[in-house]
Structure 1
Amino acid sequence: MAKPSYFYGIHAIDALLAHRPLDALSLFVQQGRENDSHVQDIITQAQGYGISIQPTQKDKLTQLCGSPQHQGVVLHARPLAFADEGLLDTISGHDQCLLLVLDQITDAHNFGACLRTAVAMGVDAVICPKHHAASLTPTVAKVSVGAAEMMPIISVTNLARTLTQIKEAGVFVFGTALSKDAKSIHTVDLTGKTALVMGSEGEGMRRLTLERCDELVYIPMSGNEHGNLQSLNVSVATGMALYEVNRQRTLAAGQG
């Protein structure tokens, strides 16, 4: 079993205690911050689960989690685990689903930001490869503002094979790419069972991933016919693409 980690930040710790409190071991609280309302709520939650509370100096918290962005709380807890790959069969078997596929997103900050947007835009699960991808670290949890705890994140051995499997279940796979064959994301139908594939900045999707896509799309930008996905931070591009998915689905449901 993986060694416990030091999670940090109000929202990340709040989400961890809400979704898997039995994985929490000890809560370290910055001395002088005990009366902060947000910190107080976390202390109350931790006490309810019998988690030990340890008043700690600010510098010590920074040392524990390796970041000054701890907001006065650090939680020693078991690491977040990836969801079982078999869960994809259940999700893709539903009448409606939205999957976000992250191909070779290795930066923890980008990964965490993508997860945050995914939860906000109603994604059912995030899929990433086991290799050449960011791990579920405390940094990812902090940047995702707790979103990493709220949605299945599935790590797969063979991403191309996984895309083939979900296609067989009726999921239409859209890949974002700079290609003469790509269509504006605003012109395609994103209201059905959908998987959206985002590739890494610079390199984009790997060849085998690209070959499994049913359709390629791009995000049009002012002054450039095909835009330039590579000029956008991948988490920003993910947010723009998922917003378009959400917009179309809201209109189709008659809620616009």
Structure 2
Amino acid sequence: MAGNAGRRGAVRRGKKGPSVGSGGQRRKGLEGRGPTPKAEDRPSHPANDRKIGAQKAAEKAERDARSVAGMRKSRPGGDARPGARPTRPGTQRRRAGTGSEYVAGRNSVLEALVAGVPATALYLQDGLDNDTRVRDAVRAASDKGMSVLPVSKGDLDRLTDGAVHQGVALQIPAYEYAHPDDLLQGRKRSDVVVVALDGVTDTRNLGAVVRSAAAFGATGVVVPSRRSAGMTAGAWKSSAGAAVRVPVARAANLARALQAYKDAGLMVVGLDAGGDVQLPDLDVVGTGVCLVVGSEGEGLSRLVRDLCDTVVSIPMSGATESLNAGVAAGIVLYAVAQQR
């Protein structure tokens, strides 16, 4: 009735819904639900499924890394204490790294897969144009039993830290370094050939040294834990998969590691443009060798140079001032292999 419109609790029906006169019974309904959540935070949205899949893949990679580390600690003769040596000859103890790295870009990802770089997952951007490189990368990942996960461009940008990924990224677990003493385990001292890098910060040079070490039968490579390149995704790619066969050790103090090698009977040979002898005159027959390579710009540090038994130089024409660390190490490793 017309006279009841103003009664307390009455509801006036209209095109715009309830209005004044509801008595406050529908106040919550009139307040709304707030801002719309992001697509990746909505449980029923595909973006949320992709986000959860990426998180689960990252968690699985870290669980696998921890599992491998635990298996190595529980092996007979192994020791979980930092710096402790294995009691069983020939065993290698490696320290489990943390986190993951990503190779970004179609060519880089495909090269890493072909080179045998260990990886845990391949990420593909939604709606990616399926060119030959992408198809080959997916095929290579599938052949290795690797997860292939679709993600949004935003997720891929975050995973690769803003790198130019071209819609493709490869997840690689952190490298597990050996201990410098591990490179001597189970080997005659006269058979050992170790390459130590002093101040080499370019990951491509490190990868090239590892590749040369594998080509010429070296025992392993040692890098300092500070101010030095590490076995990142870039180093893995430059090594062309050789890092699978040649262990890379990390030394907390390179000078101390070199002294330990000298005490073990190895001849420490520095490589520098102002060397005491030229490469053709170097004689390492019948002795183990630790070859120390300095950076291209600075060369060997003073302390490391003082520890060397001899310093060798590579004869070059006057037009060429120096070689990068990867090339120089390859030349000397070839010369040592020819003598031995």
Fold in common (TM above 0.5): yes
TM-score by structure 1 length? 0.76
SS in 2 for 1:197: strand
Say which is worse superposed, 115-124 or 91-100, in terms of deviation: 91-100
Q: Does 2:282 match 1:188? A: yes
Match of 1:5 among 98, 101, 115: 101
- Find the aligned partners of 1:152 and 1:170 in 2 and give their Cα distance: 21
Letter of the structure 2 residue corresponding to residue 174 of structure 1: V
- Find the aligned partners of 1:120 and 1:69 in 2 and give their Cα distance: 31
Q: CA deviation at 1:97?
A: 1.3
Q: How many residues align?
A: 234
Q: Deviations over 1:97-145 (max 9, x none)?
A: 1111100101222222222222222221101111110122111112222
Pair 35,128 (structure 1): closer, same or farther in 2 beyond 3 Å: closer
Residue aligning to 2:137: 39
Q: CA deviation at 1:248?
A: 2.4
Pair 35,126 (structure 1): closer, same or farther in 2 beyond 3 Å: closer
Give the structure with higher Rg (CA): 2
Q: Any gaps of 5 or more consecutive residues in structure 2?
A: 1-96
Residue aligning to 1:220: 315
Residue aligning to 2:86: none
SS in 1 for 2:280: helix
Pair 97,33 (structure 1): closer, same or farther in 2 beyond 3 Å: farther
1:80·1:149 contact (CA, 8 Å) conserved in 2? no
Residue aligning to 1:16: 117
Residue aligning to 1:210: 305
- Find the aligned partners of 1:206 and 1:92 in 2 and give their Cα distance: 29
Q: CA deviation at 1:88?
A: 3.1
Pair 69,35 (structure 1): closer, same or farther in 2 beyond 3 Å: closer
Q: CA deviation at 1:32?
A: 2.1
- Find the aligned partners of 1:149 and 1:58 in 2 and give their Cα distance: 32
**Higher RCO (Cα < 8 Å, 6 or more apart):** 1
Q: Any gaps of 5 or more consecutive residues in structure 1?
A: 18-23, 250-256
1:113·1:144 contact (CA, 8 Å) conserved in 2? yes
- Find the aligned partners of 1:242 and 1:60 in 2 and give their Cα distance: 44
Match of 2:198 among 103, 123, 127: 103
SS in 2 for 1:247: helix
Residue aligning to 1:236: 327
Q: Does 2:207 match 1:116? A: no
Residue aligning to 1:130: 225
Pair 219,239 (structure 1): closer, same or farther in 2 beyond 3 Å: same
Letter of the structure 2 residue corresponding to residue 44 of structure 1: S
Cα RMSD (Å) of the superposition?
3.1
Pair 35,131 (structure 1): closer, same or farther in 2 beyond 3 Å: closer
Pair 121,2 (structure 1): closer, same or farther in 2 beyond 3 Å: same
2:141·2:147 contact (CA, 8 Å) conserved in 1? no
Q: Deviations over 1:54-81 (max 9, x none)?
A: 35799997885466688x9632132112
Matched ranges for 1:123-202 at <5 A: 123-179=218-274, 182-191=276-285, 192-202=287-297
Pair 183,92 (structure 1): closer, same or farther in 2 beyond 3 Å: farther
SS in 2 for 1:86: helix
- Find the aligned partners of 2:133 and 2:303 in 1 and give their Cα distance: 54
- Find the aligned partners of 1:190 and 1:91 in 2 and give their Cα distance: 21
SS in 1 for 2:339: helix
- Find the aligned partners of 1:208 and 1:41 in 2 and give their Cα distance: 50
SS in 1 for 2:177: coil
Pair 42,207 (structure 1): closer, same or farther in 2 beyond 3 Å: same
Pair 46,160 (structure 1): closer, same or farther in 2 beyond 3 Å: same
Q: CA deviation at 1:85?
A: 3.4
Letter of the structure 1 residue corresponding to residue 218 of structure 2: V
1:9·1:142 contact (CA, 8 Å) conserved in 2? no
Q: Deviations over 1:220-248 (max 9, x none)?
A: 01348xx84xx222222122222212232
Letter of the structure 1 residue corresponding to residue 246 of structure 2: M
Q: Deviations over 1:138-193 (max 9, x none)?
A: 111122222233311111112111111112222111111233x6111111123431
